[in-house]
Amino acid sequence: MYNQYISVSVVMMSFVDFLSDILTKPQLIEIAKKLDISHSGNKRDISERIRDKAQPKEVLNLLNISELKEICDDMGLPKKGKKDEIVERIIENIYVSKTKKYKVRKKPAKATTSVSKRKSPFYKELYEVMYKELDFNIRSKTKEKDLEDQLFQFLRAKFPSHNIQSQVRTSSKGRIDLAFEKDGIGVELKYKPKKSDLQRLVQQVEEYKEDFKKIIVLIVAENKSISVIDKYKEKIENIEGCKVIIYKI
């Protein structure tokens, strides 16, 4: 084993950037309510009001420890320690110096295999379950709402400890089909979409990103439509934090 030093360039992030990029809109709204300030507008509008009202430490202390640990996950930081320690760690890494040197210890090959066995974040677990285990009951008269109901029941049974809701209103005055609001995850379903539906879908997903950190789009379609859908899948997955699952029928 040996130690190796690696220089890493780090871009400085403002507190408003941190709030609008890392937190979900429901989290920002809850913080704004606790600070007794307006929670109207988009994520950046709310973030700027929060910055003007309170110091970063006060803001972060309004979150619970599980939310703070999720922020650490998003920022690639260790999650262990008491709440005060986690808050300080996050603050230190919002306002970082331009360059840091990290000491990296090379581990034996056996040790690296244990990393892959760690429990994946909920978003990844949700995606894997939807991708591998979904089995819709589709008949000739099946409509999109029928599949949405099936998906809701399936996910609620699979993840009983995560609160799932249907037809959740978004800040763009639309509705996303399903949402795990506390986890910052939205799910949108499309059944046999036309090209015009797919064009609108890209815009919908961009709007949903105002409210959710992660979005999974599930497209249920016939084989003959896949070539067209693939083009829009690429566009959607180019939006940060978005994944597309194509369920072929």
| Residue-level pLDDT at 94 | 81
pLDDT at 90 over 80: yes
Q: Which residues are within 8 A (CB) of 57 and not within 5 positions of it... i.e. 6 or more apart?
A: 87, 88, 91
146, 185, 136, 135: which is closest to 164 by C-alpha? 185
> What is the per-residue pLDDT across 168-198, written as a single tens digit (0 to 9) for each?
999 888 999 999 998 999 999 999 999 999 9
Secondary structure class of 104 (helix, strand, coil) = strand
100, 16, 21, 95: which is closest to 59 by C-alpha? 16
pTM of the model: 0.62
Model confidence at 246, pLDDT cuts 50, 70, 90, reads very high
Q: Are 213 and 240 in contact (CB under 8 A)?
A: no
Residue owning tokens 């599949």:
147
| Residue-level pLDDT at 6 | 44
Q: Which residues are within 8 A (CB) of 228 and not within 5 positions of it... i.e. 6 or more apart?
A: 195, 198
- CA-based angle 223:228:230, to the nearest 5? 85
> Exposed, middle or buried by CB within 10 Å (0-12, 13-18, 19+), for 138?
middle
| Residue-level pLDDT at 107 | 43
Residue owning tokens 């300030």:
37
Please give the DSSP secondary-structure letter assigned to residue 121. Answer: P
Q: What domains, with CATH codes, occur in the chain?
A: 3-102 (no CATH), 122-248 (3.40.1350)
> What is the per-residue pLDDT across 58-82, written as a single tens digit (0 to 9) for each?
999 999 998 899 888 888 889 999 9
Token pair of 31, please? 């913080």
